[in-house]
A and B are shown apart, each in its own frame.
Chain A
Amino acid sequence: MIQIIQNLGKSTRTSFTKLGRATYFLFQTISGTFGILLRPRLLLNQLYSVGVLSFLIITISGLFVGMVLGLQGYYTLSDFGAEETLGVMVAASLVRELGPVVSALLFAGRAGSALTAEIGLMKATEQLSGMEMMAVDPIKRIITPRFLAGLISMPLLAGLFSAVGIVGGQIIGSGLLGVDQGVYWSQMQASIDFHDDIINGVIKSIVFGFVASWIALFEGYDAIPTSEGVSRATTRTVVNSAFSILGLDFILTALMFGDN
């Protein structure tokens, strides 16, 4: 019995210690931001590997998600004779929820896991300590550019996801199922609000980009420097990112869309 309580206390303490390390790590990362302005090359490289390489998976998934929404929405809405509101349904669900959330989950799986594995291996092969030996701060040189790249890429990717999805919904809705194209767009424009829906969606995606990059980089930096440790860290990245994204999404939705 006492053993159980001891273990409980121990695991609580470890998780708080880890949270503390993660916070400290975040401050260090952010404090390196100004250094990046002097070396935009580092950021550009990371924008390539974090953003450009995620481009394809995001646009293709966005297209299919939009097409599925178009199909499912049409079947449900046509029961009520409300096919005209298909555009509103597709756009609202994409811009408010699916765009930021699904692209953040894909981003965590595609870019986050790669970041963790990369940094974990750098640690395992002692590249990070090598940099310290040469008086180069590995956080400023390695972590901050990747963090900023994630922060910049995420809203762009989420915007692309939603835009491609809405076009996909239109292809299915008015191309295959016979919703009038003009009605699809005009109903959408009448109901989707720029500030309430689109800006809030962008804010969501920035928050998700922040959290997903933070978790991925910290797990890599904090990984046990063995091959098993790196593999565990990669798993933790995907699991923790998914949890945080979905949990934060609930909180953000309650805050943003609660009052009407």
Chain B
Amino acid sequence: MQHTSTQDTLVGLFVASGIVGLLFLAMQVSNLSSFIDEDSYTITARFENSGALKVKSQVSAAGVKIGQVVGINLDPKTYESVVQMSIYSKFNTLPDDTTASIFTAGLLGEQYVNLEPGGSDIYLQKGGKIEITQSAIILEKALGQFLFKSAEEKK
């Protein structure tokens, strides 16, 4: 088999295009690019029920994504759901009386944490806790209550 420089060039082009393809997948297709160079700090909130919230669910304020959920654990004493959220450092002016609620995006959409800033002058620091929370609305529960109520009214 003969070695030619054309062959070398073609091999080089092949390897380069393969790497470009993989890079394209990494940067353009996946969510990798949105995590690069984003400094963040972690805060926690306790919910009575965190519903179908998942790790990597979005954390937003006024509809803008400001971070993501990084951990959900059950407190073994109070039986509350402890949700850890990582917030991008550029949004470091959340007041310490911020309200956290779990909402659903659309009727069948994913659940996300919505933060509603309060009026306090003290800002949440790294490791800060959100005291005022509103649990996820469980559709079955709400439907059950609604049906029960309408049955009561008919009597």
Contact = CB atoms under 8 A, between A and B. Distances in A.
Given A52-B10, A52-B14, A55-B14, A192 B19 contact: no
Given A47-B11, A48-B11, A156-B14, A189 B21 contact: no
A95 B18 contact: no
A50 to B, nearest CB: 10
B18 A155 contact: yes
A188 interface: yes
A156 B15 contact: yes
B1 interface: yes
Contact of B29 (A41, A95, A155): A95
Contacts of B31: 189-194
B18 A159 contact: yes
Contacts of B3: 41, 44-45
Interface centre among A48, A157, A185, A201 (most CB of B within 10 A): A48
A189 B29 CA distance: 5
A237 interface: no
A197 B21 CA distance: 15
Contacts of A47: 11, 14-15
Contacts of B22: 155-156, 159, 163, 198, 202
A135 to B, nearest CB: 21
Nearest to B54: A260
A198 B26 contact: yes
B93 interface: no
Given A163-B24, A163-B25, A192 B14 contact: no
Nearest to A51: B14
Interface residues of A, number: 34
Interface in A161-214: 161-164, 166, 185, 188-194, 197-198, 201-202
A194 B18 contact: no
A91 interface: yes
A34 B50 CA distance: 54
Contacts of B1: 45
A83 to B, nearest CB: 15
B25 A159 contact: yes
Interface of A is mostly: helix
A160 interface: yes
Interface string B1-22: 1010001101101110111111
B28 interface: yes
Nearest to B17: A160
Contacts of A194: 26, 30-32
A51 B3 CA distance: 16
Contact of A198 (B7, B13, B20, B30): B30
Contacts of A201: 25
Nearest to B25: A198
A156 B21 contact: yes
A162 B14 contact: no
A235 B21 CA distance: 31
B11 to A, nearest CB: 5
Nearest to A260: B54
B87 to A, nearest CB: 18
11 contacts: A48-B10, A48-B14, A55-B17, A95-B25, A163-B29, A189-B29, A189-B31, A192-B29, A193-B30, A194-B26, A198-B25
Given A51-B15, A162-B29, 6 more contacts: A44-B11, A52-B11, A52-B14, A156-B17, A159-B25, A185-B28
Interface of A: 41, 44-45, 47-48, 51-52, 55, 91, 95, 152-153, 155-157, 159-164, 166, 185, 188-194, 197-198, 201-202
Q: What are the 3 A-B residue pairs with the smallest beta carbon separation, nearest first?
A: A156-B18, A194-B32, A159-B22
